[in-house]
Structures are given as C-alpha cells and as structure tokens.
Structure 1
Amino acid sequence: MPERRRLPALPGEVGWWLAVAAAILLAFFFRLGAWPLFDLDEGAFAQATREMMASGNYLATWLDGRPRYDKPIFSYWMQALAVQLFGAREFAFRLPSALAASIWVVAVFAFARGRLGTPGAAAAALLIALAAGSMVIGRAATADAWLNLWLALTFLEIARWQEAPRRSILLRAYLWMGLGFLTKGPVAVVIPLLASLAFFASEGRWREWLRAAFDLRGWAVFLVVALPWYLLILAQEGADFFYGFFVEHNLLRFLETREGHGGSVFYYLVVLPLVLSPFAGWMISALRRWRQRPRGLERLAWIWFGVVFVLFSLSSTQLPHYILYGVTPLLLVLAMHRDQLRSQWLAFLPALLLFALMLAMPWMLAFAAGQLDRAYEVELAERGLAILDGRYLVSILAFTVAAFTIVWVRQLQIWHRLIAIAALQALALTTTFIPAVAAIQQGPVREAAEIARDLQADVVAYSINMPSFSVYRGMATERRMPVPGEVAVTRSHAVADIAAAYPDCELDILYHEGGIVLLKVLREGGRCDGA
C-alpha cells in the first residue's frame, strides 16, 4: 500500500504567538497611512478631531463649523492623542483603531488559550485579525474598532461569568460597557444585556442574570466611567445634544433610514460572507453544529451573534460593519470546530469570492458607467477605469493564482490553507485594491484641497459632503453657495447651479478631475449680481 502522506507538525507555542503577531502587523499596521482618508466617515472623524484640537474644547466636537452630535467623545480623544504624537496625517488618525483591533485579537487569544489550547486560540485570533471586515474597521479612522473592542471584552467577561461567577469579572464587564457607552452610546449596553438575557434564559439561569444585571456596584462602575462626560456635554450643549445624539443618531437611526443606508431583513445575509471573507464556508460548516444544541460558551457565542444579526437586520439604517459586533463569538466557534472542516468545496469556493470580485471590478465599473446619468458619477467611473488598468489586473490575478495554488497544497489542513489565503487577501487589499479605490474616490478631493490650501481666498463647499477636503486644506470649510470672489469645491454636476445663480459672473475652473471641481466665482465688468 502506498505510504499515507503525513501532515506537517503544528507550530509550537512560540510559533503560534509569532503567527498571531505577524497577522496583527499585516492586518492593521502594514501601509496604514498609504492612502487618503475615505469620506464620509474617516474624513468626518479626522476633521472633527482637528477642530476639537484647534478650539481647545475637548468636550464637544464640531465639523466644518457645525456641532457634530453623531458619536460620543472617546475615539476623538484617542485620535487627538495620536495626532499630538505623530502629526495630522493618515497614519495618526488611523493608529487608534489599529491599536484597538490589536488589543481585540490579543484578548481573544488570551481568553481562548485556556479553553481551546494554544492552536485553537491562535486559530481564533488569526480568524479575527484576517477577516476582511476586521481589517477594514481596524484601519479606519472611526469609532468602530473601539466599540467592537469594548463589546468583545464584554462578551469575554460574560463568558467567564457564566463559567464561574465572580465579582471582579462582573465589574470588568460594566467597565467595558461604560467605555463602550463613551465611545458610541447605548448600543454598547443594549447588545450585552439582550444577548446575556437570552442566554441565561435559555439555560434556566434567570436568577444569575438578574443578580448580574442589577448589580449596584457594577452600575456604579459604569456611571463613574460614562456619566461625567455626558453631564458636562449636556451642561455645555443642552437639549440640542440630547436630541441630536440620543434621538437623531440612535432611536431614529434604528427606526428610520438615515443617509441613504437602507436595506432589508436579508441585507446581512448578503453582507456577511464578504465581511467574513475568506471564512464564509467555514461558518456554514460550523452552522451544522447548532443542531446538536450546544451549551455553555458555544451556546452563548451563537446567541450573541444571533442577537446582533436580528437586531441590525430589523434596523432601518444598515451598514456592513454593524454585523461585526457579533463576529467575535462567531469566529470563536469556528476555531472550536476547525478540525471538523472537511469539505474542500465548501471551504474554498467562498474563500475565492473576494478575489473574483476584485478581478471583476473593471468590468463591473464599465457596466455601471453605461447606466449613469450625473456628470460626477460618469467622470468618477471614467477615472476608475483609467486607474484599474493592466497593472491592477496583473497584480490581483497574481494574488488569485497564488490563492488557487494554496488550495491544492493537500499537506496542509483545510483551516491552515484558509488562513494562508486570508493572508494573501490582506496583501491584495492593502497593496492593490484599497489604494486603487482610494485613488479613484479620494485622490481628486485631496488634490483639490491642496490647491485650495495655497489660495488667498475664502473657500466653501457647495453640494458636496466630503470632510476630508477640510482635513487636507487644514481648516474648516463652510457648506453653502459661494458668493462672488469666493472659491468653491463642488461636484461637476453642481457647477451649473452656481452658474445659474450668478449669470453675470465668470467661473474660473481651478481644478477638475474625477467629478471634483474647484472653481472661483469672478466678477465680470466690475459687477456680479446674484439671481
């Protein structure tokens, strides 16, 4: 009989630690500042941080001269600290998120070592670090990586509590919820309370949940952490903050579609495979375990994920990263059952989905360009087709071929191959795909801002909401119709509106690329009358 091929020996303790460290560096720090800030979110957070620092008021945030009540203060403080250390550049604005994501991975690794062993813990940590959605929030200059960290730490404390209730564990859970409330508000409390209630109820452990949920010392810790800033900002901003944050950006955001981010109850069924890429097939395999009625940690993990999935599927405002608040327990379950992943087709076909989408981008963009009407969108698509050129295709094709090659390395276990494919995916995203998308969408905004920065004129933004323009210009940019003598940044389809408002004025086009226009409204013959 032919000799059976042996699988290579697993790495030792040090090897697993090194693998996790390498994944953290690749996923969150490699080329962290290599592309412009993305609008809307990165630009808004970065500019609000700049205005906070310029004003010296570290309680309230303003964006282009207007109050910004979207998020609490914690992530702005972290960005301000990074900017103080490294200057106002992309790396500094994104560094706090990269640190938060790194702590997230290490915390899960430390938790899982005593329950899954070092290989299982490393599997969980590698899954979390290298999933596409984790990489995105771990590199974004927003509050999401911090909120995700606090939710993940709260989940881990609840998992410890259900194993062996101790007051120190409970107080830490309230600490993390307090920091989450200071980072993004009520969601940091709603998810843990709902998920833990559902779990303890499913196990008939009502009294334990009630004792933990109404622990006065725990709520005292929560209030000490979260309450001071809320009291100070309410005293400073009054009812406007209360309505803007709690009503507009929390209650109504759940009940109504905001900023065009609508969806359906099936939205996250479509989004989840991309967020988990390249591990969607692994998740489908793990779902079969639910029929065995898991208990303890695994049941808590599934319930936490299910609560997040249902809660945001029912929300009227939906964004892809919301589902990440339930991904920590889900990926922990995948690590638990890593050796039961046996179907090669199920594992690898979904793993290659994102590579296929990246390869198809030029053709998808060409098709979309033929369906567009507005000048800005048409010009943006044309710029995209110029940037997604042969070099882009060769690069993505090389990564895709390498991924296919890994599929056929039968000496490695399936989950080892998926981790290797995830590392290739991370390299493809950070070296080719994300820089290309940033160059298409944000390159013209940054170039226009750099020109505007050197002009001796007032600059306003008209019919455009891209706060990164203010970041790169180095000052707030008021949003309104320009008046004669002023410079305006706008989208190409809005130039006609300005021309119609000032029929006796000449418009001097200072910059026009990718649908972004920088123009000056000039007087003609010494006068310029508005319509």
Structure 2
Amino acid sequence: MSLKNNFFYLVLFAAYTPLLFLGITDLDEGAFSSTSLQMLREKQFLIPYLGDELRLEKPILTYIFQSISIFVFGISEFSLRFPSMVATFVWGFVFSKFIFSFKNDFKITSVLNIFLLLPGIFLMSSVATADAFLNLFITLAMISIYRFCENESEEELVRCSVWIGLGFLTKGLTIIAICGAVFFIFSTITKKFNKFLAAILSIKPWLIFFTITLPWLSYVYLKIGLEPLSYMFFGQSFGRYTTAFENHDGMFYYYFLVLPFVILTFFPDFVRSLFKLNLKDNLEKFLFTWLIFVFVFFSFSTTKLPHYLIYGLVPIVFFLQKIFLIDRERAPTILENIYQLLIWIMLLGIPYALIAFLPRDNFDISYSILEDTFNQSLYLSIVSFIILFLIVLAIARVEVNFFKKISAAFFLLILSVKILPLIVDLQQKDLRELGKKYANTKEKILAYKINKPSFSFYANVDYHRGLESNAIILTRTDKLKFLENEFEILDTQGNYLLIKIIDE
C-alpha cells in the first residue's frame, strides 16, 4: 500500500473515531438511549418503556442492540454509538462486495472508501437510533431481491425474508414499503413481473418472516393490547407520510436541497454520472430504480427529514465509482479545484455563521459554549492549514481521485472534531453536566415543561415528566414563570435548573 493511501486511511480513521464519543442529543437519541438503559436496569427486553410511558415509536430490535452494548461496555456514549458504527461498516462492506461480484473492476476497498466518505453516511454512522440498522437490512434485502431477479433462487427469497423480518423489528413497515415497491417497479420495467408474483406468492418466505416477527408481536399484544401496536406500525409509518410529525414538514423540492449536502464533496461527480447511465445494464437499472423511488416517495411524504434520503443513498456510491474509474490517473481540472476550495471556504465560515445567526432568545442553546470553549483562532488555523495543503496538492497535480478523497476525508475530520462537538455542546452540554452530577440519585426526577430524555441517560434514572412536591424537578429558566408554587434551587447549569417544590 502506498504512502498516500496510508495517509488517506489514517485521516479517515481519525474522522470516524471521535463520533463514538459525541454527546447524546435529544429527542430521538435521548429517548432511544434512556429507554435502552431502562430496559437493562429493569432486566426486561421485550417492551420498551421511557419512564412509565410506552416507547413504541419504533419496534424492539435497536433497543436490544443498545442494551447489549451498554451491558458489555458500560454506560457511556461509546456504548450507544458503537452498534450503529458496526452496522454502518457492515452495511458498506456488503454493498461493496455485492457490486464487486458483478463488476470486477469495482474493487471492494474503492467502493467502500466512497461509501464512508459521503457526509450523509458519515453522519448516520454513529447516531444512536434505528437508522443504521434499518439501512443495513434494506441493503441486504435489496441485494437478495436483485439476485433473485437474476437467478430465481429460492435461497435468495429466504435471505430476503430474514432481512425484511429484522428490518420490520427495527423500524416497522418502512422496509416493506421501500423494498416491495422497488421490487415491483424493477420487475415490471424489466418484464420479469412473473418473478415478483412468484416471490410474493411463495409460502416459505412468508413463514420465515412471520417466524421472526410474530413471537414479539404476540407477546406485546398479550401484554399491552392492539392499540399501541397499531400506533407503532400504522400511526408512525403511514401517519408520518400523511401528517407532519414534530413540525418536520417541507415542500416537494425539499430533497433536491438536501441531496447536495449528503454527498457534498462528490456532488458534481454524481451529476456527471447521470449523463453516463447505462440503463441497458440490469444492475444499473436496479440501482437507479432504488435511488429514484426513495427520492420521489419521500418527496411526497408530509413528514420530511434529511435521513430519509439515506435509504436510497447507497446506489449513488456505485455511480460515483463509475466516474472515478473514468477519471483515474488524470489531474484535477480548474473547476474541480475551485469546487473543493468553495467547500472549504464554507466550512471555514460555519462557526462564525453560528455566532452571527443563532437566535439569542432560544433557551435550548447554551451561548456560553461559543464564548468559553470554542477557540476561533485554533479553528481558523487548522482549516487554513488544510486549505494550504490541498492547494499544494492541486499545484502538484496529484491524481484527481486521491485529491477528492483526501479533501473529503479532511472535511469529515473537521466535522468530527470541531463542528459536530460544537453543535452538540451548544444544545446538550449543560444537560449532560447536570445529569452526571446527579447520576444514580435515589430521588425521583421529573422534567417540567421540557422534553429532554438525554438527561435521564446521564443521570441513570427513569425519565418522568410532570410536577410533584416530593421530587426533584428538571426545568429551564424560561419555564419558571409557569410555576405557582414556591421552590428552592438545588443546582443550575446554564439555562437548566434542578429545583424542589416547597410544601406550604
């Protein structure tokens, strides 16, 4: 392996490692984290609870993975982020191996490198939620679907049913909607609709799917009834498509704006790849169908979140690798150099934009973090040094693929060690420090007029909400005006307080 490749892998490793130690954020990560820890404390792993409330926004599998990780590694951010990181690397490897099995010039390491360099994949790789696992199972199911369309092997149908069953236990009906639709469309446009019919009418895959899913569904039904299950599988899945959850709405062109950012460093190469599509090739046709379906399907969803686009992001890795094979051994063009430079100028300005445009009346944000812990001069020096390094590479006319990859790796490194910690600390550092101070307290803690389950993870206590005179109350300074009772302040951290109601 050449020196420059060793350097590239070192930078990539340095970018991914800090993600494992980022603080936990609210709401989804906080809820998943606190629920997984509560399951471990209560030694029950089949019905997720967040405090006294059912946490059935998602099925059980991710909670189990996270609980196992906490049991093995202890209570830490690493324990929660490690399962998603493992799932991401497996996800990238199985896709790379699949592509290599059909395209021998698409080397596994080359495809995997591009996969790991995409900002959307990078950001998803350590999130303590269900999404990395769901993407892994979607990809595995898609691979089986394509192989079945090529060889009609019942073994592929069996594998597909296993992956869809596990995906169902990870995030409900999402995997069925995506994989089923792509299978239907692809089999129709390739005039292989009989294979689609054969698959859905085959009894064995259905038996395997229900063998995986029915034991847990039956247990939950017997314990808590049908209504919570209906909410989880229909309210959460179809409900998100027809109703904007938590104000996450957007116009139909929302994902046209998101796409350039999730593949930012390689966006021009993706645009070029669209002009080099070979839809006579079944593999390209399948991957393009997968990409377009996800893009269009979620564009018409009422609830819009950036990570929905990740469900269809993997095919882009294939199209980018096609361009990289075409471009190998040439030097970067002036336009390519300018594009990379513009990305770095944007990155250079992010902290200053935060300082300038953060709303000063947002009590969720700890502005003191910007003033006390963010070293602007150091950040400016580091990013400027990287820009100079890239300019030297451009002047030396290094091979264009290495130039883009090392730029992308440094981009992820800056995100990992500077930008993401800053963004997380702005929202979570005060809660995190307050939670650690009261870790393992025997007193009941209630959150009042705020929804911050990450606090309960750091305090290692059950998450409850409300107002009781015999409990410690976690609240925020802007919520004190709603209190009619006298209270004493036990502790403060930034905008957050722990108080106790004084009995009259």
Partner of 2:59: 72
Compute the displacement of 1:333 (Å).
2.2
- Residue pairs, 1:297-446, within 5 angstroms: 297-341=283-327, 344=333, 347=336, 351=340, 355-369=344-358, 371-374=359-362, 376-377=363-364, 380-390=366-376, 391-412=378-399, 414-446=400-432
Out of 224, 234, 241, the position equivalent to 1:254 is 241
TM-score, length-scaled by structure 2 = 0.91
Q: What is the number of residues matched between the two proteins?
A: 499
- Residue pairs, 1:194-233, within 5 angstroms: 194-233=181-220
Compute the displacement of 1:354 (Å).
5.2
Out of 35, 40, 54, the position equivalent to 2:27 is 40
Matched, 1:488 2:473: yes
CA-based RMSD? 2.6
Partner of 1:3: none
Q: Which amino acid aligns with 1:201?
A: T
Secondary structure of 1:168's counterpart equals: helix
Q: Select between 324-333 and 109-118 the one with higher mean Cα deviation.
A: 109-118
Change (3 A) 1:267 1:315: same
Q: Is the 8 A contact 1:396 1:432 kept in 2?
A: no
Q: Structure 1, residues 455-491: CA drift from partner, whole Å, max 9, x if none?
A: 674421112112110001111131113x445432222
Compute the displacement of 1:417 (Å).
2.0
Partner of 1:62: 49
Q: Which amino acid aligns with 2:478?
A: H
Aligned equivalents of 2:243, 2:340: Cα separation in 1: 34
Compute the displacement of 1:62 (Å).
0.7
Q: Is the 8 A contact 1:485 1:520 kept in 2?
A: no
Change (3 A) 1:349 1:411: closer
Aligned equivalents of 2:276, 2:441: Cα separation in 1: 63
Q: Is the 8 A contact 1:33 1:89 kept in 2?
A: no
Aligned equivalents of 1:19, 1:149: Cα separation in 2: 28
Compute the displacement of 1:409 (Å).
4.5
Change (3 A) 1:493 1:62: same
Aligned equivalents of 2:290, 2:8: Cα separation in 1: 25
Change (3 A) 1:197 1:65: same
Change (3 A) 1:247 1:119: closer
Aligned equivalents of 1:50, 1:103: Cα separation in 2: 25
Secondary structure of 1:31's counterpart equals: helix
Q: Is the 8 A contact 2:440 2:461 kept in 1?
A: no
Change (3 A) 1:467 1:400: farther
Secondary structure of 2:313's counterpart equals: helix
Q: Which amino acid aligns with 2:491?
A: L
Change (3 A) 1:394 1:490: farther
Secondary structure of 2:23's counterpart equals: coil
Q: Which amino acid aligns with 1:231?
A: S
Matched, 1:451 2:430: no
Compute the displacement of 1:384 (Å).
3.2
Aligned equivalents of 2:149, 2:306: Cα separation in 1: 30
Change (3 A) 1:72 1:207: same
Aligned equivalents of 1:234, 1:349: Cα separation in 2: 58
Compute the displacement of 1:163 (Å).
2.8
Out of 490, 497, 504, the position equivalent to 1:518 is 497
Partner of 1:105: 92
Q: Which amino acid aligns with 2:492?
A: Y
Q: Select between 91-100 and 160-169 the one with higher mean Cα deviation.
A: 160-169
Structure 2: runs of 5+ lacking an equivalent: none
Aligned equivalents of 2:247, 2:305: Cα separation in 1: 10
Secondary structure of 1:259's counterpart equals: helix
Aligned equivalents of 1:190, 1:145: Cα separation in 2: 17
Q: Structure 1, residues 217-263: CA drift from partner, whole Å, max 9, x if none?
A: 12222222222211211221212322320232111111100012111
Structure 1: runs of 5+ lacking an equivalent: 1-10
TM-score, length-scaled by structure 1 = 0.87
Change (3 A) 1:167 1:522: closer
Aligned equivalents of 2:233, 2:375: Cα separation in 1: 46
